[in-house]
Amino acid sequence: MALEPSGESGGGGLTAYIVHHLTHNVVYVAGQKFHFDSWMVALLLGLLGCFLLWTQARKATAGVPSKPQAFVELVVEFVDSQVKDTFHGDRRFIAPLALTIFVWVFFMNAMDLLPLDLPAGIVTAVAGEEAAHHTYLRWVPTADVNTTFAMSITVFFLIIFYSIKAKGGWGFTKELFTAPFHAHGTFAKIVLAGPNLFLNLVEYLSKPVSLGMRLFGNMYAGELVFMLIAGLFMSWITFPFGLVANSVWAIFHILIILLQAFIFMVLTVVYLAMAHEHH
């Protein structure tokens, strides 16, 4: 395992503090950098989400539900209602997909609420301050563009799959060259084939880009605000003010965490519904 250099300049201070916290823990796979921290945290949170939902499903009863079971049922019904209102085809795959996205993205976003210097504090307690200075861990996977684009590209392939499933291979290919500008006559179809293809490619490619960048931008900005607040109030004199500022931002940030998980889920369902229903 190799770590990326911190990139800290001789100035130190707030800049060095932020640069350190923005540095990923990196391993090299086939000669390419791989953000091990984002992958590991995302994997563990995904497994945790599956485990929590499984435990409540296993203990589900027809009688009066426990508080955890009632909460899980509330989330499941909420997601299912969103899918039912948007996607009018077979929901047996779409509804579980939407639930997985919502829970997983929420868990990854919620890591932003944990104390920023907790990993460094644990490493310092175990191995000393010098080891903490050279240990890098970013534990908000959705603040890493690689994570958000991995999810959005997966959604993109699902869009292509449902487009071909609904229209057939020839129908999907034909639509790329004949929509949105429908023409009558061979010459007009040939003339408009190029513009139609260009517009369709822009439409298809803009979906994963906007989906991934929206989530990344919001979570990266939120993480950076936490770093700025923590860096500006590092002394013992200003620490109480920093604690208040961080608490206020964390309360507001909870809304962003929930909203971004909801938006990613809803847009995924909307895109798949468009692919499935548009002919």
- Catalytic residues, by residue number, are 210, 214, 218
Rounded to the nearest 10°, the torsion over CA 203, 209, 211, 216 is: -160
d(CA 77, CA 120): 40
Instruction: Go through 56-86 and write b for each residue having 16 or more CB atoms within 10 A of its CB, e for each that does not.
Output: beeeeeeeebeeebeebeebbeebbebbeeb
SS3 28: strand
Q: What count of other Cβ atoms lies within 10 Å of the Cβ of residue 247?
A: 11
- From the list 123, 114, 146, 153, the residue with the least C-alpha distance to 38 is 146
d(CA 190, CA 271): 28
